[in-house]
Amino acid sequence: MIAIPARVRGQRVRLVLIVLCGLALSMSCLPAQPPHKRGVSKKTATAQAVVSSSGERKFQENCSRCHTAPEQLSPRITRTIVLHMRVRASLSAEDAQDILHYLSP
């Protein structure tokens, strides 16, 4: 068995990573999913987008400060997520309720 020097192996790992990223990059140039499957991301892509509801505004005031909205969100888990974020972000009950209505209208 031929021993491969560590430096070469490190370079190979980086090469694989770059190829993977290149593939992912090219996938990103494919057409996006239809809007009806996109969940909430269209609504919250950037903070400067038009804010149409109290829940959306509260989402952007609180949640969007650390992360974007999940691209796809099953309605079965929205309350669980809002409870989780209520604890993490110290949301009041009212704010949590508004965000829940926004995520799961």
Binding site for another protein (CB under 8 A): 3, 5-7, 9-10, 13-14, 17-18, 20-21, 24-25, 27-29, 32-33, 45-48, 61-62, 64-68, 70-71, 73-81, 83-84, 86-88, 90-95, 100, 104
Least distance in angstroms from the C-beta of 52 to another protein: 14
Q: Which residues 6+ apart lie within 8 Å of 46 measured at CB?
A: none
Q: Which is nearer to another protein, 6 or 36 (CB)?
A: 6
- The minimum distance between CB 86 and another protein, in angstroms, equals 7
Nearer to another protein, 33 or 53 (CB): 33
For 86, residues 6+ apart whose C-beta sits below 8 A from its C-beta are 93, 96
Question: Least Å distance between CB 36 and another protein?
Answer: 15
24, 67, 70, 102, 103 from 74: Cα distances, Å: 24, 18, 10, 13, 10
Tokens, residue 98 = 């508004």
Under the phi-then-psi rule, with left for phi > 0, alpha for psi from -120 to 50, and beta for the rest, what region is 44? Answer: alpha
Smallest separation, CB 21 to another protein (Å) = 5
